[in-house]
Amino acid sequence: MSLPGGLCNRTLDTIVERAGLAEVTSDDGGPFRTLVSVMGPDPVGAVRVFTGDPDANQVAKAVYVGITVPQIGLDSHMVFAFADESAPIPHFTLDSVSAHGYFAFHLDLIQRADLGTHLTYLDWAHTPLTATFEEVQQREGLSKAAIGPRQASVMSPWMCVARATEEAFAGIEDAVAAYLGHWFSLVEAPVPAEVTADLADTDLAARDERNRSILFSPDVDKVWAQISQLLGPEVTEGIRAQLLSNEVKA
């Protein structure tokens, strides 16, 4: 398996096993959706969807999207693990890519409330990531990724995002493990009473719906236009639909 595919799929496997998620398969028992490019009839990837037991943990849904098209030098793998809409737990995301001769990644716990007005929440959900975040910024072989402040604003200030040399990309797995480990520490423990009190002014489900509509908007993230050119508009909208809510969209 490629470096990007290996990193993302190992992360996905950890999430599925530790959170006890169940895969939603197609009628033939395969991935939820097999992806075919407009360039030809052969499969170029898959969408995999997993759901959680609402009575067992706070992980409601995980979505993996993998697209590999050797003809254009693209090898892209993404996983989003979504907490319950009404819980304050951030959503976990990892995107690992090889394209046009370079590697790239982004890694984040996506904020669930306004960080500028909820310091208690911020210190619970994100501050423990600071040491890892700052260390990653100093690593050799990383350079600025093509993401602007408008798009970055709907993620968190602790997002690690960069282009990378092959060596630097191969070494990023420890940071992924650190972010994932902190995320599970939030998932697997009760939300502290002081965090709940700090967020009393926030309708978490309503904010999550609005945030995800922006986060996965083609107007905000230009990657959707590229995916649409590759897979077609209908398939692309089907992928977006799986990310916009914790429902499994047929």
Predicted TM-score (pTM) of this structure? 0.96
- Residues 42-87: tens digit of each pLDDT: 899 999 999 998 777 789 999 999 999 988 899 999 999 999 999 9
Q: Write the DSSP string, 169-223.
A: HHTTHHHHHHHHHHHHHHHTSPPPHHHHHHTTT--HHHHHHHHHHHHT-TTT-TH
What average pLDDT does the structure give for the chain? 95
Q: Write the DSSP string, 227-243.
A: HHHHH-HHHHHHHHHHH
- Residues 94-112: tens digit of each pLDDT: 999 999 889 999 999 999 9
Cα(89)–Cα(33) distance, integer angstroms: 28
- Residues 132-184: tens digit of each pLDDT: 999 999 999 999 888 889 988 999 999 999 999 999 999 999 999 999 999 99
In order of their start, the domains of the chain are 3-243 (3.40.1500.20)
Q: Would you say how long the chain is, in residues?
A: 250
